[in-house]
Amino acid sequence: MEGRFVGAVGGWRSLGATAVDAAGNYSKPSNSVTFTLPRDTVAPTQPLVSITDVGASHVSLLWSSVEDGPNVWFSVFVNGNPVVYQSRNTSTTFTMLDPETPIPSPSRRGISEGTTLR
């Protein structure tokens, strides 16, 4: 059996266990064990952003990063404004353009240059 501390970022922890049988009877709690998780002091790797699709009123982005563990979230900024905040997703589609607004040419889209992931 394997367990994972979701959101564990370091610090002191105490664990114990109980047993349960098929009838739903629980044992008394076990002894407790304590340990300290080291704090993560290494920043995640810099994501790489790609445009996967552009339409008359949308843009689809894909970003990747080296696997930095289970506790990595991404925020996406367009022209300095947050549009995705602390998501574990690595892709999204924005329907942010008015259908009457012309899409710049692929070399001048500005999304890849103007999009900063943190």
Domain ranges of the chain: 48-117
**Residue partners of 51: CB distance under 8 A and separation at least 6:** 59, 60, 61, 62, 109, 111, 112
Q: What is the pTM of this model?
A: 0.51
CATH code 3.40.190.80 for 48-117: no
Per-residue pLDDT of the chain (118 residues), as tens digits, is: 445 555 556 678 888 999 999 999 999 999 999 988 888 788 888 888 899 999 888 889 998 877 666 678 888 887 788 878 788 888 888 886 555 555 444 444 444 444 444 4
